[in-house]
Each structure stands twice: as structure tokens, then as C-alpha cells.
Amino acid sequence: MENIILEMRSITKTFPGVKALDSVNLKVRAGEIHALVGENGAGKSTLMKVLSGVYPHGSYDGDILFNGETVAFSGIKGSEEKGIIIIHQELALVPLLSIAENLFLGNENVEGGVINWPKTFSRTLDLLEKVGLKKESPSTLVGQLGVGKQQLVEIAKALAKDVKLLILDEPTAALQENDSAKLLDLLLELKAQGIASILITHKLNEISRVADSITVIRDGASVSTLDCHAQNISEEDIIRDMVGRDMAHRYPAREKPTSENQPRETLMEVSGWNVWHADAADRQMIHDIEFNVHAGEIVGIAGLMGSGRTELAMSLFGQSYGKHIQGEVRLRGEVADLSTVPKAIKSGLAYVTEDRKELGLILEETIQINTTLANLPRVSSFGVIDGNIERGVSEDYRKALNIRTPSVFQKVMNLSGGNQQKVVLSKWLYSQPDVLILDEPTRGIDVGAKFEIYSIINQLADDGKGVVMISSEMPELLGMCDRIYVMNEGRLVGELDKADASQEKIMSMIVKA
């Protein structure tokens, strides 16, 4: 008989006008890694919020059994007392507190009304060793750690609460390959200790590596449960269940923009580009960058996290923040002043940030307001925004980019990740750029929405725009780009044409640099 630690039966959750979950069923065996997959907006996070008590008992229909016992959580504290710990995509750590303080925040080692700090530090050391952070001091501020280490601190925090079922929502979305591998290895170690995990991820290669079972959710309903050990499951099988259709090709077909005997206009040419850190004049971040982008071309920039790709993009887009910059950029043959963001926009540049929630959107505002932010003069008269014009513009982009929403008056915080990214693209397309720099344009987006974003990018190139695409996913660059520059430690260390590019060649350029 299967040893089922969790069973969710016919879970139905309704918001005003929307049925987010429709009789969803989920079974998780003790000591297994269970992948929960589906497109953005399919209901994965909503289901986990029901399980963890974020949405309390009484706000949904259906039953939850944990270790064979029917449970009804009124809040997250109740689920944690049972050993159900959820780690959200946005980490719940306090940057200005130490690792030790974060691990036991709300779960302090108290004796006689006073925190026992020696015990706290001793337990912290034990937990850090378990998650592979034994070299870190318990007194280190969490804000001084990289994102990969912060994820491991979150898992250590869960272990401090005697976790029996660990839920991870997109834990590797912001991690580079090495940090992702460490986190997945840790999940396998926890599995060996009998701790079950529910892994929500869009990265199908991670599922293939660690998952024992897979539940697929589509449009708020559970459509399939797959046993990875009993069935020969391909990524195509998973994608078919996720999107409800075959996706034989992950990347939309596109011909190379022009033949060799048809010279393409050079839209952007960067030469001698050097950037020094604002707080340390002797610390150079970007070294002698030279590259170009032609009309109708998608140019990729590959490299590991920390290689300087984002720093290069931000410096080109006028976000220098006091940094000393040397070099020249020509746009359509004219020397461009990119010293500030407004000047960069006026010159014909656009930059889609890798962090759409913090830097790309105003989450509390509507689609209408976000769409026109980068070019308000076009919807204004004598300094006053014309709401009717703004509404028409945002509605045009909603239709053109297929943003799934009942109205442009919808707040962007209520959209799925893929639709949020389309709003960001709308904002920058409305600025009428010649060259768009896209930094991790599909991060945290499911395969179906990725295909739509890729189609939009291809259309931009077909319209004669120049596109610079920064991505940590090498298959994405190989599938989308006409040329790929390889970056390492602030330098461009190689260039590959699409026909010659491969993951092996890119990695070889990085490690040999």
C-alpha cells in the first residue's frame, strides 16, 4: 500500500468572477519529490496557498489529508506546526538581519522569556552544514549573500521548523546553473532523509533530474499524474498536458533576416565600452566591449550569472548611477548620448529589465497606466495625460500582444508572469525604439507563454528592429538568435554565428577565457 503523506481531494477555489481551482486532486508519497507543473495562471500557487493555510479553511471546497488525518488550517502557522513549509518565489528573508536571526524569526529559542543566543548560533551552524553553507557565519547579514545562498538559507529555515513536506515555488528561477544544481542536490539529500518535497518549476530538465512523480494542472484543473519511474515520460508529454496541444517546436520558425548579398543597416555599434564601479574607481566592471546589431537581427549575449551582462545592458541604457564610463555608441550611424535613461530612450534604445516586478512594472497600477509610462508625451497635452488616448493605446497593445485580461483597467499584479512580461514589452514598444535590449525576457514564464514571447521577439526583428537578447538559458539563445556573443568577467570572449553555435562551444569559450 502506498505511503501517502498528503492527499488533496476535489479542491475548488473561487475568486469573484473566476474559478481558480476546479476539483483539483493531488497525492504526494512520503519521501518523494513531486513536481507540480502548469502554465502561468494554471492554479499551482493557488493550490499551494490552500494547502499552507494562506487561503484558510472555509474559503475553498474540498478536503486535505496529511498523514492520514483530515486537516483544516486557519492560517500558515497551523500548517507549519504540522511540518508543511512553503518557500515562495519571493524569498521571505529580512536582509538586515543575520542568518541566525532569519532562521529562527518567529520560532526563537526562548528560555525564561529571553532568547538563548548560544543555542541559536549552535543550531544555526548545524543547519548551515546540512544545506551546504558551513563556511558562512551565523552572524552574516542575509543581504550580503547571493540569491543562491539565500535560497539555501530559506531551506535551512524550513529544517529549523522540523519540516515533513517542503514546498518550493520556482526555487531556481533567479539562480545560475551551478546554484540550481546545488539546490536540486539538496532536495535529493532531503529525500534520502525521508522529507517529501513539492517542486513547482517551469524548467523541465530539473523535473527530469529529480522528480519521482508529476502532477500537471491546466486551467485550474488537474489533468494528469505521471509516475516518473513507471513510465517513459518525455518533456514533450509534459508540455502537451500543460498547454493542451502538441508543441513539437519550442521556438517559432524564422528565416535569417537577409541574404549575404543584401547588406543590412547597422542600427547599433558599441566600441571601446568600459565601465568602472561607482564606489571604487579602480574596480572595472566592463572591459573594452565591441559589438554591433543590424536591422532585423536578434543578437544573443551568453554568459554565467555575474559575467557582467546586466551591468553592460544597464550602462548602455543610461543607468550608470555615478559609474565612470568610457566608450562610444552609434545608433543609425550617429554618436548617441546615453548618459541618462531619458536620453537613451530618445536615442532609440529600450531595455526590458530581468526583474519585471521590481523594476519593470508598477504592480499596483493598471495595464493602461503601465503601457504608456515610457512615452507619456505621446498621450499628453500641455502636460496633462489624455485618458481616452491612453486607453486606446493600451487596448491596441493588449490585442496586438494577446494580453489575457478582461480589461486594461486590471492591475498588473493580478496578471500571470507571461502577461506581465507582455505589458513590459508593450511599454517599451510604445517608446518606438530602434534597438531593444531584452534581459532574461522569459524568466519565470511557462513554455506556452514563452512561445508567445518568442513570437513577439521574432515579429520585432521582422519589422526591422534590432534585438539584443540576454539569457541564462543557452537552448533559448541557440533557438532564437542569429549571432551570439559570449561574455565572461566583464569581457566579450567570443562570437558565434547561429550555424556554428552550440552549448559546448559557448561553455568552452567561457571556461577558457
Concatenated DSSP letters of 435-489 = EEEEESTTTT--HHHHHHHHHHHHHHHHTT-EEEEE-S-HHHHHHH-SEEEEEET
Q: How far is CA 365 from CA 318, 355, 368, 445, in A?
A: 25, 17, 8, 21
Q: Are strands 213-218 and 33-37 parallel, antiparallel or unpaired?
A: parallel
Q: What is the pTM of this model?
A: 0.64
Q: Which are the contacts of 470, defined by CB distance < 8 A and separation ≥ 6? A: 300, 301, 309, 310, 313, 354, 437, 438, 439, 440
Give the integer Cα–Cα distance in Å for 174 and 369. Answer: 27
**Cα 5 to Cα 244: distance, rounded to the nearest angstrom:** 29
pLDDT of 109 over the 70 cut: yes
Q: What is the pLDDT of residue 180?
A: 82
The answer to whether residue 261 scores a pLDDT higher than 50 is: no
Q: Which of 288, 348, 310, 312 shows the shortest CA–CA distance to 439?
A: 310
Read off the pLDDT of residues 294-306 as tens digits, 9 standing for 90 and up. 999 999 999 876 7
What's the pLDDT band for 331 if we cut at 50, 70, 90?
very high
Count CA atoms within 13 Å of residue 392 on its CB side. Answer: 7
What percentage of the chain exceeds 90 in pLDDT? 55
CA 388 to chain centre: 34
Continuous H helices in 64-176? 76-81, 99-103, 117-130, 147-160
For β-strands 33-37 and 18-29, DSSP reports them as unpaired
Question: In angstroms, rounded to a whole number, what is the distance separating the alpha carbons of residues 410 and 161?
Answer: 38
Across the range 147-171, mean pLDDT stands at 88
Instruction: Quick: pLDDT tens for 439-453.
Output: 998 887 777 788 888
For each of the domains in the chain, give its residue range(s) and CATH number, in order of start. 4-243 (3.40.50.300), 265-348+433-513 (3.40.50.300), 359-432 (no CATH)
How much is the pLDDT for 367?
A: 94
> Angle at the Cα of 231 (from 227 to 236), degrees rounded to 5?
95
pLDDT greater at residue 441 or residue 473 = 441
Residue labelled with grid coordinates 473566476: 18
Mean pLDDT of 484-500: 92
pLDDT at 426: 93
Determine the Cα–Cα distance for residues 51 and 216; give it in Å rounded to an integer.
17
**Per-residue pLDDT, 241:** 83
Q: What is the pLDDT of residue 1?
A: 45
Closest CA to 93 of 131, 57, 145, 52: 145
In angstroms, the CA 134 to CA 123 distance is 12
Highest mean pLDDT among 25-34, 144-153, 358-367, 441-450: 25-34
